[in-house]
Amino acid sequence: MGKVEQLWRHGLSRRQALAGLVSFLASSPLLNAQRDPWPLGPHRRFLGFDEMRDVFDFEPLFRANVPLSVYDYTAHGTESEFTLYRNRDAFDWVRLIGSGGVNPSDVDTSTELFGHRMASPIMLAPTARQRDLHPDGELGMHRAATTTSTTMIVSNVSSFPFPRIADAADGPLWFQRYATRELEPNRVALDAAQEAGAQTIVVTIDQQASYYERDLHVRHLGGAPRQVSRRTRPDPPNPYRVGAGRLWYEWQLFDDLRPLCEVPMLAKGILTGAGAKKCLDHGVDGIIVSNHGGRALDYGPSSLEVLEEVVEAVGGQVPVLIDSGFRRGSDALKALALGADAVCFGRASRWGLGAFGEPGAQKVIDILNAELKQAMATAGCASVAEIDRSIVTTSFP
């Protein structure tokens, strides 16, 4: 090593340069970018089941338990993930006004939807391929939902057929369908689900564009692109990088499916008042305000910020549900105050199942319900019927 290099290696200027770099990184806003808790940040060991305090605690354990591709499939959103993050940001734009005066043990979270009494307005959103998270998959999720008296929406893309999931426990189930253009496969799927006891049919219409670009950029294995799922394969059969089976959706779809449904039919993926009105025109019995958890159209709005517009357009004619970005009971309370009839949780339930199997999913639901009760008590609402617009103020941009 030459003299100049020796001087640089041991010299004051090098140490100053390193110190400068460290202090720059320490004060960088990048390190503070995540507003939600980062549960394992200060720990050198994994937390145990009894140490789970909120839903965020489950995510790192879920991540540690599954292959990276499964974690990524759950975690990511479309393209630059603007909408994925906006879904969480939106809760900062709604403030809860606490008036107190209710003991949490006196709070009644029960509610009614489509003639069915529910223990709580908290529900499980349909999410695909749950056996990738835990061998019990949707069977374990259904048992957890049943134990907690929670309504579960079973995905069209489940690891087990709907009747088998229905057999695993006796709690309420809804069935979610990605419709095909030909009517017959829809008829077969809807008949099977309704025969097995599906209380409603949810028709998802928002995933016309989905492209999990992040998957294609991951090159952990010596620079070679990691094997990607069928859904994200870089050579789709059309120029839009989305399964051709979902490219054709039009409002007429609901007219075609309505006669196949003996139970209420909901549209999932509505983000505008105009869209909600179209749904009503085409015979839909309920709306789910959703951007698919930031997995459909990037740079779209968060579902929370458009909820009131949809509720207003619907004018009480049918129930309005919501999902996307919900992680806490108080998040649910905000949506209920803005007019939602129920709130669905997607990733949160997957984190629970992936972290600890059925008991984990059960604990996630228990935590969410306890948080909702606590938040209702603090806001002065003894029942779901008492939750109204007066307990929130909003400052959506």
Ligand X SMILES: Cc1cc2nc3c(=O)[nH]c(=O)nc-3n(C[C@H](O)[C@H](O)[C@H](O)COP(=O)(O)O)c2cc1C
Kindly list the residues in this chain that would bind ligand X in the complex (CB under 6 A): 73-74, 87, 125-128, 155-157, 176, 204, 268, 290, 292-293, 295, 323-326, 345-347
Closest CA to 332 of 381, 295, 285: 381
The radius of gyration of the chain's CA atoms, rounded to the nearest angstrom, is 23
CB of 161 to ligand X, least distance (A): 14
- Residue with structure tokens 């993930």? 81
Q: Minimum distance between the CB of residue 290 and ligand X, rounded to whole angstroms?
A: 5
**Alpha helices (H) along 35-118:** 58-65, 68-75, 82-89
Q: Tell me which of 76, 142, 282, 292 is the catalytic residue.
A: 292
What the block records as the tokens of 243 is 């399964």
Q: Report how far apart, in Å, the C-alpha atoms of 134 and of each of 8, 141, 301 are.
A: 53, 10, 32
Alpha helices in the chain (DSSP H): 3-10, 12-26, 58-65, 68-75, 82-89, 137-147, 162-168, 183-195, 213-217, 252-257, 273-281, 303-314, 329-337, 347-356, 358-379
- Minimum CB separation of residue 353 from ligand X in Å reads 11
- In degrees, rounded to 5, the angle at the alpha carbon of residue 288 between the alpha carbons of residues 379 and 182 is 170
Nearest to ligand X of 296, 375 (CB atom): 296
Please state the closest distance from residue 139 (CB atom) to ligand X, in A. 17
The amino acid present at 38, given as its one-letter code, is W
Nearer to ligand X, 120 or 378 (CB): 120
CB-nearer residue toward ligand X: 111 or 158:
158
Q: CB nearer to ligand X: give 102 or 351.
A: 351
In terms of CB distance, is 143 or 268 closer to ligand X?
A: 268
What is the C-alpha to C-alpha distance for residues 140 and 138, in angstroms, rounded to an integer? 5
Closest distance between ligand X and the C-beta of residue 293, in Å? 3
CB 200 within 8 A of CB 263: yes
* Two tokens, residue 184: 């017959």
| Distance of closest approach, residue 14 Cβ to ligand X, in angstroms | 46
Neighbours of 100 (CB within 10 A): 8
Nearer to ligand X, 334 or 378 (CB): 334
| Least separation in angstroms between CB 351 and ligand X | 9
Q: Which helix (H) or strand (E) holds 250?
A: none
Beta-strand pair 392-394/94-96:
antiparallel
d(CA 325, CA 328): 9
CB 71 within 8 A of CB 63: yes
Of 125 and 318, CB closest to ligand X: 125
With respect to ligand X, which residue has the nearer C-beta, 91 or 345? 345
Angle, CA 343 vertex, CA 338 and CA 348 arms, to 5°: 130
Range list of H helices, 33-67:
58-65
Query: d(Cα 304, Cα 309) in Å, to the nearest integer?
Result: 10
Least Å distance between CB 179 and ligand X?
Answer: 11
Per the annotation, the verdict on 292 as an active-site residue is yes
**Distance (Å, rounded) from C-alpha 74 to C-alpha 84?**
12
Tell me which residue has its CB nearest to ligand X: 346
Q: Which residues are catalytic?
A: 292
